[in-house]
Amino acid sequence: MITKVTYLIATILSVKAFPQNIQLLSQLPSDPIEQPDSWAWGRHPKEGFGYKARNSLTLEQCIDNPETAGTVHCDGYDYSYPVELCISMPRLAPLKVCADAKFPKDFCVSNAANMVKAKGCQKFLTDMCIMDISLATSQPCADAQYPKDFCTSNANQMVKTKGCQKFLTDMCTMDINLATSQPCADAEFPKDFCVANAVKLIKANGCQSYLTDLCTADVSLAVSSDCAGVEFPASFCTTSVQIALLDNCKGAAADVTFFQCTSNADVCRSKICEARVPNKDFCP
């Protein structure tokens, strides 16, 4: 038993020290960055001794060699570089070592794609995001507030973007196809836009306050189910007998004028003009 313990201790001590006159898996480097006796040694049953340097650099090495920043060898250390170094080496700027740096606007904007997530550039977020439409619609730019001209100039891409929602109507009216799309469902459209595109916008929520105007803008709409129940004005009801006979014109009989009735012979002889022109001899 004592013999076995003695052998085990001897083996451990031999592994801790730099092995001498043993078979190595490969050659030692000519200029090792650390002493071999601090490396991890192990013995393979058949292949002899193997060795491996520690999988990290010292803090001093990481600080003195900026090119190592962001690698697995230095991620475990908490250190930072001055803003001048972060600017001179743009690769470093978005990394943890430059997290506390306050960057100038021109640097942030010139390197927008890389700096959009950098803490030191957040006060210039909008300026960076408008540099590229694909960047503007990306997650890092979700909180950017865009100017009206940028939103409307890129309406199709920006209509869903949070930073353009206050210009929703302006974007949606840039294109009738966009106006009828889901992203524009809550947009409030101006009357002239609704009427000019009555056929396509008859069901749009943003045009419902002008429904009568839409229905009377096109005969095909007036007789459609989309306009059922809408009361038409006398001026429209007397444009043709087809319209005059619609249920939509029942309430207009009290408002029609003698002139409106006598401007069309068929309308004049219809029920809508019975009260206004009881003597049909006045009809043309």
| Alpha carbon of residue 210 to chain centroid | 32
**Residue holding tokens 């043709």?**
240
The length of the chain is 284
**Cβ count near 34 (within 10 Å):** 11
> Is the pTM above the cut of 0.75?
no
Helices (H), the chain: 2-16, 59-64, 83-88, 105-110, 112-115, 125-129, 133-136, 148-153, 155-158, 168-172, 176-179, 191-196, 198-201, 211-215, 219-222, 234-237, 241-244, 258-261, 265-268
CA–CA distance, 202 with 9 (Å, rounded to integer) = 91
CA–CA distance, 101 with 98 (Å, rounded to integer) = 5
- pLDDT tens sequence for the chain (284 residues): 444 434 444 444 444 444 555 555 556 667 766 666 655 555 555 555 554 445 578 899 999 999 999 998 898 899 999 999 999 998 999 999 999 999 999 999 999 999 999 999 999 999 999 999 999 999 999 999 999 999 999 999 999 999 999 999 999 999 999 999 999 999 999 999 999 999 999 999 999 999 999 999 999 999 999 999 999 999 999 999 999 999 999 999 999 999 999 999 999 999 999 999 999 999 99
